Amino acid sequence: MTIKLTKHAKTKIGQRNIKADDIRKVALKPDLTEPDKYDKSLTHFIGKIGDRFLRIIGRWKSKDDLLVISAFFDRRLKRKEG
């Protein structure tokens, strides 16, 4: 699978100190996926990294090409879990 990042995703991933390996890990084997509420072409990939949940928002460009729009550690999920 090829994972490409938008300019926005590159900026936010850098600001949030998210590792490229963690993006790949969650995108390849998410614990949960959800469709976006507003844009049905987007998918949210969610996976646990350490004690936090990483949420990746992306769009499939083809069967093997994922375009990542944004990524962040989702604090809301941590509250729901505990």
> CA–CA distance from 66 to each of 50, 76, 77, 78, 80 (Å)?
24, 25, 23, 26, 28
Q: Which strands sit side by side in the sheet containing 65-73, from one edge to the other? A: 2-5, 65-73, 52-62, 43-49, 32-35
Q: Output the domain CATH number for residue 67.
A: 3.10.450.530
From the list 41, 59, 53, 46, the residue with the least C-alpha distance to 5 is 59
Instruction: Tell me which DSSP letter residue 17 carries.
Output: T
- Domain containing 9: what range? 2-81
Number of domains in the chain: 1
How many residues are present in the chain? 82
The per-residue pLDDT for 78 is 63
The per-residue pLDDT for 39 is 97
User: 46-81: per-residue pLDDT in tens?
Assistant: 999 999 999 999 999 999 999 999 999 998 876 565
